[in-house]
Amino acid sequence: MIRNVQARIPTAYGTFFLYDYTDQRNGKEHLALVMGDVAGCENVLVRVHSECMTGDTFRSLRCDCGEQLHMAMERIAMAKRGVLIYLRQEGRGIGLIDKLRAYNLQDKGYDTVEANLLLGHQADEREYWAAAAILEDLGVRSVHLLTNNPAKIEALRSYNILINERVPLQPTIHAENATYLRAKVARMRHLLQLPPAPPAPIGGSLTEDLHRCLSLLQERIARHSAHTPTPHVTLAYAQSLDGSLTATPGTPLALSGAVSMTLTHALRALHDAILVGVGTVLADDPRLTVRLIPGRDPQPVVLDSALRTPPTARLFDHPRKPWLLTTARSDESVRRRLSERGAEIILLPADATGRVSLPAALDAMKARGVRSVMVEGGVQVLESFVAAHLAHYAVITLAPRLVGGLHAFHANTNGALPHLAHVAYTQAGDDLIVWGEPIWTPAPDKMSETVHP
According to DSSP, the residues that pair with 431 across neighbouring strands are 428
Written as one string, the DSSP assignment of 70-83 is HHHHHHHHHHT-EE
Residue type, 300: P
Our answer to whether residue 157 is catalytic in this structure is no
Residue 213 labelled as part of a binding site: no
- The residues near 54 (Cβ < 8 Å, ≥ 6 apart) are 60, 62, 63, 65, 99
Residue 244 labelled as part of a binding site: no
How many Cα atoms are found within 13 Å in the side-chain-facing hemisphere of 60? 15
- The residues near 196 (Cβ < 8 Å, ≥ 6 apart) are none
Residue 387: DSSP 8-state: H
Residue 368 labelled as part of a binding site: no
What is the C-alpha to C-alpha distance for residues 359 and 242, in angstroms, rounded to an integer? Answer: 31
Residue 52 labelled as part of a binding site: yes
The beta strand positions in 218-322, using DSSP E, are 232-240, 244-246, 273-277, 299-303
The answer to whether the beta carbons of residues 440 and 388 sit under 8 Å apart is no
Kindly name the residue from 111, 124, 297, 431 that is annotated as catalytic. Answer: 124
What is the C-alpha to C-alpha distance for residues 392 and 220, in angstroms, rounded to an integer? Answer: 10
Residue 14 labelled as part of a binding site: no
**DSSP reduced 3-state for 329:** coil
Residue 92 labelled as part of a binding site: yes
For strands 299-303 and 372-377, give the pairing.
unpaired
Residue 51 labelled as part of a binding site: yes
Kindly name the residue from 23, 56, 111, 126 that is annotated as catalytic. Answer: 126
Residue 50 labelled as part of a binding site: yes
Our answer to whether residue 320 is catalytic in this structure is no
Residue 91 labelled as part of a binding site: yes
The sign of the dihedral angle between the CA atoms of 96, 97, 99, 104 is positive
What is the C-alpha to C-alpha distance for residues 407 and 447, in angstroms, rounded to an integer? Answer: 24
The answer to whether the beta carbons of residues 283 and 250 sit under 8 Å apart is yes
According to DSSP, the residues that pair with 276 across neighbouring strands are 302, 377
- The residues near 171 (Cβ < 8 Å, ≥ 6 apart) are 64, 67, 68, 177, 181, 192
Residue 68 labelled as part of a binding site: yes
Residue 49 labelled as part of a binding site: yes
The answer to whether the beta carbons of residues 22 and 1 sit under 8 Å apart is yes
Residue 41 labelled as part of a binding site: no
Q: Which residues are annotated as a binding site for GTP?
A: 47-51, 68, 90-92, 112, 147, 152
Q: Which residues are annotated as a binding site?
A: 47-52, 63, 65, 68, 90-92, 112, 147, 152
Q: Which residues are annotated as a binding site for Zn(2+)?
A: 52, 63, 65
By annotation, the residues acting in catalysis are 124, 126
